[in-house]
């Protein structure tokens, strides 16, 4: 068997601490996404674009948001996907 050195034990401890922090943070974030479903959300995008839509869902790696009734400057889009890289921030009320 391969003896475990003190260093690798420390590494394992740090890793599990890190994993715990990751899970706590992610759980809260998922609850935040969950509470956003069917709410009116204001998206603040690059080039000073501000749009409003009803939030539907996000993919797991937060690359796209699915929204309904997207109010754009040229009309209302019934269903749309917003690319997260185009978004700076978004706001909603709870």
Partner 1 sequence: MQCGWPLLGPLRWISYVNKQVKVKAGKDAEHRGWLMTVDPVSSSLVLVTFREGGGASVQVVMGHAVEEVQVLQEADEETTERLQASFLSPQTCRLDQ
Nearer to partner 1, 59 or 79 (CB): 59
Applying CB under 8 A, which of residues 11, 16, 29, 37 lies at the interface with partner 1? 29
Min dist CB 1 to partner 1, Å, is 31
Q: Residue 17 interacts with partner 1 (CB under 8 A)?
A: yes
CA 39 – CA 92 distance, rounded (Å):
7
Binding mask 64-83 for partner 1 (x = CB under 8 A): --------------------
CA 62 – CA 77 distance, rounded (Å):
21
DSSP string, 20-61: HHHHHHHHHHHHHHHHHTT-EEEEEEGGGEEEEEEEEEE-TT
Q: Residue 38 interacts with partner 1 (CB under 8 A)?
A: no
Nearest to 54 by CA among 76, 65, 38, 43: 38
Judged by the rule CB under 8 A, the positions of this chain that interact with partner 1 are 17-29, 31-32, 34-36, 44, 46, 60-62, 84-85, 87-94
């Amino acid at each position: 068997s391969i003896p475990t050195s003190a260093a690798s034990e420390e590494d394992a401890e740090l890793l599990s601490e890190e994993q715990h922090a990751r899970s706590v943070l992610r759980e809260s974030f998922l609850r935040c996404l969950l509470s956003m479903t069917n709410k009116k959300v204001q998206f603040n995008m690059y080039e000073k674009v501000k749009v409003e839509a009803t939030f539907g869902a996000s993919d797991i790696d937060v690359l796209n948001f699915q929204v309904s009734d997207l109010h754009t400057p040229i009309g209302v889009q019934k269903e749309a996907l917003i690319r997260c890289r185009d978004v700076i921030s978004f706001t909603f009320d709870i």
